[in-house]
Amino acid sequence: MNLQGAHILLGVTGGIAAYKAADLCSKLVQAGAQVQVVMTPGAAHFIAPLTFQTLTAHPVSVDTFQLLRDTDMAHISLSAWAHILVIVPATANTIAKLAHGLADNLLTSTALACPAPLIIAPAMDADMWAHPATQQNIATLHSRGAIQVGPAQGRLASGRVGAGRLASNAEIIAAIRQALGRTGKLAGKRVLVTAGGTREPLDPVRHISNRSSGKMGYAMAEAARDFGAQVTLVSASTGLAPVYGIQMVSVQTAQEMYAAVLQRVAETDLLVMAAAVADYRPKGAAAQKIKKADDDLTLELERTPDILMAVAQRRQETHHPAFVVGFAAETENLLANAASKLASKHLDLIVANDVSSSDSGFDVDQNRVILLRPDGAQEPLPLLQKTEVAERILERIAEWWR
Ligand code: PMT
């Protein structure tokens, strides 16, 4: 994950949500980031600097004029050190100061001197957030490239319900990952990923599907985002939450996935088909719920369109996508079956996974895959978390593509 070793400067301002910044700080440190914290004097009323100092193992700066251990000017050295400046929570007051270039405390002066991307996670009362002054200040920050995460709708400290809650730490971390990856190996590329198992209706209440959880495809989409790509994820039903920073397209059936993919391939540089697409669907779904009878029931199935085959045909005319990746889910003859799909579907890479083992493949967090290329090259990867499998696959794609 690109948080490993990243220099994250966390600015904390004076709002009740300041305590949530401690959990964010802890999660970033656990993910391998180097975190330094600057607090406004107001933030120090809500949460002690010692909390952040303990979590980061770095001194926490609050006062612009405090005597430092060395002769560095804190606002200059911190701003030069940061790969990214993240302000969580960002109060209306700090947002206003940032918009107008005020530098009246260590955080605002550091922000003014900081060339790194700026992420702000506003949190305040709903009326303060809705006020035209705040909205204008936010618009000013956007126009300078600041990234805004949240605020979310929900219960506020006042007891009222509205927009003003701090975004979740998961969302803030995703925004940090995306911003850190903006110049990554897939920067400027448009990536289309499919995920999940399609559902083929039998009647209004039943369908045929498979055990795909969507985890592998979602991991591919997240990793592509963190490599700097602009990502669209065509997702069949999964239990997974939408992914931050990715355009989500929901589909149910193989036919819908076919339409969603084919509609977008001309504007796609890299297609990754991680979805488990049904090969067959019930011929003519019943309009009403099928009634139980004493006799056995025979279902007639018909073929679904093969999406990768259709992409291969389209590609001959448009030369898009430039790189096409399929996955092969096999329970026997893994390599031979995967190699035959690689050739018949005209792929640049097939990711073969043996889905007969219980620790990899469908509906688990890890996968054990072998990468197969048209020139016969094979690269087995060990059993890894799907997030890491996705990163390894994209690393290799970026190399081959170059
Ligand atoms: O979702 P998870 O629980 O994380 O599980 C991950 C996974 C096992 C589903 C994933 O790693 C995987 O292997 N996905 C592909 C599953 C599959 O459908 O394989 P296949 O061998 O049947 O198809 C080969 C390729 O053709 C696939 O890229 C598939 O998306 C594509 N296909 C299949 C049928 C069809 N009608 N059109 C297609 O394009």
Digit-coded pLDDT (tens) for 267-293: 999 999 999 999 999 998 999 999 999
Q: Are residue 238 and residue 201 in the same domain, yes or no? A: yes
Residues 151 and 248 in one domain: no
CA 327 to ligand 1 center in whole angstroms: 5
On the question of pLDDT at 69 being above 90, the answer is no
Residues 60 and 207 in one domain: no
Of 97-106, 155-164, 197-206, 373-382, the least confident? 155-164
Report, as an integer, the average pLDDT of 311-334. 94
Report the residue among 198, 211, 327, 355 best suited for mutation to probe ligand 1: largest number of ligand atoms under 8 A from its CB: 327
Tokens of 269: 């540089």
- Rounded CA gap, 383 and 360, in Å? 7
Residue 194 included in any domain: yes
pLDDT band at 66 (very low <50, low <70, confident <90, very high): low
Q: Half-sphere exposure (CA, 13 Å, Cβ side) for 236?
A: 31
pLDDT of 225 above 80:
yes
- CA 281 to CA 253: how far, in whole Å? 9
The model's confidence at residue 87, banded by pLDDT at 50, 70 and 90, is very high
- Report how far ligand 1's centroid is from the alpha carbon of 87 (Å): 41
pLDDT tens-digit series, residues 324-370: 999 999 999 999 999 999 999 999 999 999 888 899 999 999 999 99
Q: Please report the pLDDT score of residue 231 as a whole number.
A: 98
Distance, CA of 379 to CA of 369 (rounded, Å): 9
**Cα 34 to Cα 44, 148, 217, 332, distances in angstroms:** 21, 22, 29, 45
243 — pLDDT class (breaks 50, 70, 90): very high
Q: 100 and 196: one domain?
A: no
Q: Mean pLDDT for the chain? A: 94
Domain boundary among 126, 155, 180: 180
Instruction: Give the Å distance between the CA of 75 and the centre of ligand 1.
Output: 51
Domain-embedded: residue 389: yes
Report pLDDT for 70: 55
Q: Is 228 in the pocket of ligand 1 (CB under 6 A)?
A: no
Ligand 1 atom at minimal distance to the Cα of residue 369:
11
The yes-or-no verdict on residue 67 having pLDDT over 60 is: no
For residue 329 and ligand 1, the question of a CB distance below 6 A is answered with yes
Catalytic center residues: 210
Is any atom of ligand 1 closer than 6 Å to the C-beta of 334? no
pLDDT score of 75: 66
The CATH number given to whatever domain includes residue 175 is: 3.40.50.1950
Name the band, by pLDDT with cuts 50, 70 and 90, for residue 73.
low
> Do residue 175 and residue 197 come from a single domain?
no
Looking at the fold, whether 385 and 303 belong to one and the same domain comes out as yes
Pocket test for ligand 1, best of 277, 323, 345 (most atoms within 8 A of CB): 277
CATH code: domain of residue 352: 3.40.50.10300
Pairing of strands 378-380, 369-372: antiparallel
Task: Classify residue 41: in a domain, yes or no.
Answer: yes
In a domain, 2, yes or no: no
- At residue 77, the pLDDT reads 85
User: Is the pLDDT score of 68 beyond 60?
Assistant: no
Residue 76, pLDDT score: 75
pLDDT at 257 over 80: yes
Whole-number Å distance between alpha carbons of 67 and 179: 33
Asked if pLDDT for residue 143 goes beyond 80, the answer is yes
Q: Which residue carries 């303990």 as its tokens?
A: 54
Question: Is residue 1 in some structural domain?
Answer: no
pLDDT at 82: 96
254 in contact with ligand 1, CB cutoff 6 A? yes
Q: Which residues of 55-81 are buried (b: 16+ CB within 10 A; e: fewer)?
A: bbeeebbbebeeeeeeeeebbebbbee
pLDDT tens across 13-32, in order?
A: 999 999 999 999 999 999 99
Q: Per the structure, how many domains does the chain have?
A: 2
Q: Of 119, 146, 180, which one is at a domain's C-terminal end?
A: 180
Higher pLDDT, 255 or 400: 255
If you take atom 34 of ligand 1, which residue's CA is the nearest one? 277
| Same domain as 218, residue 125 | no
Which atom of ligand 1 is nearest the CA belonging to 363? 3
Rounded distance, CA 17 to CA 91, Å? 10
Q: Are residues 270 and 288 in the same domain?
A: yes
Instruction: Give me the domain span that covers residue 376.
Output: 190-401
70-74, 111-115, 343-347: least confident range? 70-74
Instruction: State which of 125, 158, 180 marks the end of a domain.
Output: 180
- The answer to whether position 336 is within a domain reads yes
pLDDT for res 72: 62
Task: Tell me, using a 6 A CB cutoff, whether residue 363 lines ligand 1.
Answer: yes
Q: What pLDDT score does 210 carry? A: 96
pLDDT at 234 over 70: yes
Q: Is 109 in the pocket of ligand 1 (CB under 6 A)?
A: no
Q: Is the CB of 277 under 6 A from ligand 1?
A: yes
Query: How would residue 160 be classed by pLDDT, with cut points 50, 70 and 90?
Result: confident
Alpha helices in 144-191 (DSSP H): 169-180
Q: What percent of the chain has pLDDT over 90?
A: 90
Indicate whether 185 belongs to any domain: no
Model pLDDT, residue 158: 85
Mean pLDDT of 293-301: 93
In the reported structure, the alpha carbon of residue 275 is separated from the centroid of ligand 1 by a whole-number distance in angstroms of: 5
Do residues 119 and 197 share a domain? no
Looking at the fold, whether 36 and 12 belong to one and the same domain comes out as: yes
pLDDT higher than 90, residue 159? no
State whether 125 and 217 are in the same domain. Answer: no
Using alpha carbons, select from 181, 211, 193, 187 the residue that is nearest to residue 248: 193
**Pocket probe mutation, ligand 1, options 192, 211, 212, 271, max atoms within 8 Å of Cβ:** 212
Of ligand 1's listed atoms, the one at least distance from the Cα of 238 is 1
| Ligand 1 centroid – CA 353 distance (Å) | 10
Q: Is residue 266 part of a domain?
A: yes
Check whether residue 218 and residue 165 sit in a common domain.
no
